[in-house]
């Protein structure tokens, strides 16, 4: 039994959809070749069946020769057995081709999504990525599936044409002319179907993306009463998709009808011509039966050829979407010549905003526009273009990402708690301090999969976790769990409230103990008493390490050694919290939520 998927999907050719499909064929050329071989054997054995039956009639029945009847009947039986065996082997290869190409595409897409991480949603719609795994892989796999029958169909049509030409030129020419004519009549239907399928595919991606957005924000939508509005938008888009699907179905129904009607008329025409020749004694009765058998058989390869062409068009649409994802490059790719650097002092400077962080400082950044705070945090953590940002005098864009992630950690509220043992989920970050909480969540990497005892003594690990939980004011969460730190976290930590999740994420970030810790609104979901405890303890817990808290909370700002007021993306003022309240109206309005 062959194991699927493949351990290594390989490096795809993403220059075009056609090249990607060709690359898939090359990657599984053995099973593709075997499938084509058995497909040809399967079709050819069926194509020879009418000839054997005609010989049985002419040489045996008409001539009353019992020996010939047995001889040709045995040939018919052997051809039937060969058809059965070849059909089984062909189907096995076809299914292997289907699964291999589909799984390989899924593997490549998943790997690319993981590599792009948090940058993926800004590069391509989530619905398009989801649709690759649900619809596009099926279209690509179906094309690889039908390839075996397509090879057999082409060979069998050529063989039947040769047999007919060698027996009766007029009927042979009829077949040679009729087959291309049928394909020419069916061909014009494929272009509009291809165009409309592309439209449906685009609408499917948009609708899937909207469904994901609604599910992700369902709790918020209910809270603000926006659920009916989004439901109406989803209904409108789903109806648009339904109408587009109906338009595709119309073309497909005409195509299916043509695939039945045209070969049917072809069979009638060939049979009529053969019957006329038989009546005039130009061909024998056995030949008449054989010609009818040929004509009836040709319906199968003709339908297979048109089916293969239609599937290829659908696969091309799907491959175009796949290539679009696979061709994306990481905007934060490693810089050539970048070198690993040891841990430094943690002095972080951003020329664009004018923010300068002293080594070991505890700084708070209050932004008039919350989006500016998030953008600045992403720049300092190099989750977007970081030109003008330096760490210990070294440009961030010249540093290897692995080194940067270990030294600078951005912890925001988009991070996720992963399922598994709670202690492992908290201490797992410590094994790779520098893996951004948000990046890990976006890439789907379960940072809680490691053992909490892997980096040191278990007692020391528990002590570190306890200290981090104390700083995050999260001891009550553990005390409420019957199994304590050994409790199992549900998917995305959904068994915890929003405030509990936030405190546990903060404890996880503290356990990472990076050189520079950037916290984005770490106390937005907790009550004032808990927030005061966290603010009081955070500075002591991070003593000697550079820490930046992006917040407008007066409790947190009042505990900071230095506060920077960000307005228009620039550091407009800095000082202690109470000084800024008294001297900077814009800062006072931002922190107290007052109008200027």
Mean pLDDT to the nearest integer, 139-160: 88
Per residue in 277-298, pLDDT tens? 877 887 788 888 888 888 778 8
Let me know if residue 9 belongs to a domain: no
Residue 204 belongs to a domain with what CATH number?
1.20.1560.10
Residues 552 and 403 in one domain: yes
For residue 453, pLDDT over 50 is answered with no
Let me know if residue 546 belongs to a domain: yes
Smallest Cα–Cα separation from 420: which of 442, 451, 441? 451
Residues 247 and 371 in one domain: no
pTM exceeds cut of 0.95: no
Residues 318 and 397 in one domain: no
Please tell me the predicted confidence (pLDDT) of residue 538: 93
- DSSP track, 502-567: HHHHHHHHHHH--SEEEEESTTTTS-HHHHHHHHHHHHHHTTTSEEEEE---HHHHHH-SEEEEEE
Let me know if residue 352 belongs to a domain: no
Let me know if residue 343 belongs to a domain: no
Please tell me the predicted confidence (pLDDT) of residue 441: 34
Of 326, 347, 378, the residue that ends a domain is 326
Question: What angle, rounded to 10 degrees, do the helices at 137-167 and 17-27 form?
Answer: 80
For residue 448, pLDDT over 80 is answered with no
Per residue in 19-42, pLDDT tens? 999 998 988 888 899 999 999 999
Residues 320 and 389 in one domain: no
| Cα(153)–Cα(166) distance, integer angstroms | 20
Residues 475 and 549 in one domain: yes
Smallest Cα–Cα separation from 551: which of 542, 540, 560? 560
- The residue with greater pLDDT, 128 or 563, is 563
Residues 322 and 423 in one domain: no
For residue 103, pLDDT over 90 is answered with no
Residues 390 and 322 in one domain: no
Let me know if residue 6 belongs to a domain: no
474 neighbors 398 (Cβ within 8 angstroms): no
Of 326, 342, 374, the residue that ends a domain is 326
Select the highest-mean-pLDDT range: 329-333, 337-341, 463-467, 494-498.
463-467
| Cα(306)–Cα(180) distance, integer angstroms | 11
Residues 377 and 315 in one domain: no
Please tell me the predicted confidence (pLDDT) of residue 547: 94
Which pLDDT band holds residue 550 (cuts at 50, 70, 90)? very high
Phi, psi of 153 (to 5 degrees): -65, -45
Domains held by the chain: number: 2
Mean pLDDT to the nearest integer, 584-590: 91
Per residue in 244-282, pLDDT tens? 777 777 777 777 777 777 777 777 887 788 788 877 887
Per residue in 197-242, pLDDT tens? 666 666 666 666 666 655 555 555 455 555 676 677 777 777 777 7
Please tell me the predicted confidence (pLDDT) of residue 577: 93
Let me know if residue 351 belongs to a domain: no
Per residue in 363-407, pLDDT tens? 999 998 888 898 899 889 888 778 889 998 888 888 887 788 889
Which pLDDT band holds residue 506 (cuts at 50, 70, 90)? very high
Please tell me the predicted confidence (pLDDT) of residue 440: 36
Q: In what order do the strands lie in the sheet with 562-567?
A: 408-411, 516-520, 546-550, 362-367, 562-567, 570-575
Residues 417 and 293 in one domain: no
Beta-bridge partner residues of 564 = 365, 574
Let me know if residue 544 belongs to a domain: yes
- The residue with greater pLDDT, 536 or 342, is 536
Of 280, 311, 326, the residue that ends a domain is 326
Tokens found for residue 96: 């292997």
Residues 281 and 222 in one domain: yes
Please tell me the predicted confidence (pLDDT) of residue 455: 43
Let me know if residue 434 belongs to a domain: yes
Domain of residue 89: give its range: 17-326
Please tell me the predicted confidence (pLDDT) of residue 117: 67
Residues 28 and 99 in one domain: yes
| Cα(278)–Cα(38) distance, integer angstroms | 35
Residue 538 belongs to a domain with what CATH number?
3.40.50.300
For residue 534, pLDDT over 90 is answered with yes
Residues 44 and 140 in one domain: yes
Please tell me the predicted confidence (pLDDT) of residue 439: 38
């Amino acid at each position: 039994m062959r194991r699927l998927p493949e351990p290594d999907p390989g490096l795809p050719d993403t220059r075009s959809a056609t090249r990607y499909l060709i690359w898939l064929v090359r990657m599984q050329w053995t099973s593709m070749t075997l499938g084509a071989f058995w497909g040809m054997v399967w079709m050819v054995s069926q194509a020879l069946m009418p000839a054997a039956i005609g010989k049985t009639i002419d040489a045996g029945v008409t001539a009353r020769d019992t020996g010939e009847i047995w001889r040709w009947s045995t040939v018919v039986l052997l051809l039937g057995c060969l058809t059965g065996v070849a059909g089984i082997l062909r189907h096995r290869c076809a299914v292997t081709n289907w699964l291999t190409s589909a799984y390989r595409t899924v593997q490549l897409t998943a790997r690319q999504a993981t590599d792009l991480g948090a940058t993926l949603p800004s590069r391509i719609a989530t619905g398009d990525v989801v649709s690759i795994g649900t619809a596009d892989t099926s279209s690509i796999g179906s094309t690889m599936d039908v390839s075996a029958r397509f090879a057999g169909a082409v060979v069998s049509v050529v063989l039947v044409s040769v047999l007919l030409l060698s027996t009766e030129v007029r009927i042979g020419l009829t077949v040679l002319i009729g087959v291309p004519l049928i394909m020419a009549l069916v061909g014009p239907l494929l272009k509009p179907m291809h165009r409309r399928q592309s439209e449906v595919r685009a609408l499917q991606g948009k609708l899937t993306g909207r469904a994901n957005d609604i599910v992700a924000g369902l709790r918020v939508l209910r809270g603000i009463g926006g659920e009916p509005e989004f439901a109406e938008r989803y209904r409108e888009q789903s109806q648009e998709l339904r109408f587009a699907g109906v338009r595709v179905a119309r073309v497909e129904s005409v195509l299916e009808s043509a695939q039945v009607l045209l070969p049917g008329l072809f069979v009638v025409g060939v049979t009529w011509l053969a019957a006329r020749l038989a009546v005039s004694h130009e061909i024998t009765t056995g030949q008449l039966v054989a010609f009818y058998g040929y004509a009836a058989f040709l319906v199968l390869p003709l339908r297979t050829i048109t089916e293969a062409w239609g599937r290829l068009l659908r696969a091309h649409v799907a491959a175009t979407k796949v290539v679009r994802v696979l061709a994306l490059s990481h905007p934060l790719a490693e810089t050539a010549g970048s070198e690993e650097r040891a841990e430094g002092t943690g002095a972080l400077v951003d020329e664009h905003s004018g923010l300068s962080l002293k080594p070991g400082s505890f700084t708070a950044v209050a932004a008039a526009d919350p989006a500016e705070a998030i953008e600045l945090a992403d720049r300092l953590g190099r989750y977007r273009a970081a030109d003008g940002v330096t760490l210990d005098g070294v440009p961030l864009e010249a540093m290897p990402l692995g080194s940067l992630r270990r030294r600078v950690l951005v912890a925001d509220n988009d991070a996720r708690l992963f399922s598994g043992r709670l202690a492992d989920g908290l201490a797992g970050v410590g094994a790779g301090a520098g893996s951004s909480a948000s990046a890990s969540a976006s890439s789907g990497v379960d940072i809680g999969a490691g053992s909490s005892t892997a980096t040191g003594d278990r007692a020391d690990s528990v002590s570190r976790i306890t200290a981090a939980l104390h700083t995050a004011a999260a001891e009550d969460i553990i005390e409420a769990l019957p199994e304590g730190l050994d409790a199992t976290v549900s998917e995305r930590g959904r068994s915890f409230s929003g405030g509990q999740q936030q405190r546990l994420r903060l404890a996880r970030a503290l356990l990472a103990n990076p050189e520079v810790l950037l916290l984005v609104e770490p106390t937005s979901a907790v009550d004032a008493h808990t927030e005061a405890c966290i603010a009081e303890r955070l500075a002591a817990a991070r003593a000697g390490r550079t820490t930046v808290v992006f917040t407008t909370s007066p409790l947190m700002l009042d505990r900071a050694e230095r506060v920077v007021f960000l307005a228009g993306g620039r550091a407009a003022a800095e000082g202690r919290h109470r000084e800024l309240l008294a001297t900077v109206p814009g800062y006072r309005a931002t922190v107290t939520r007052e109008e200027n």
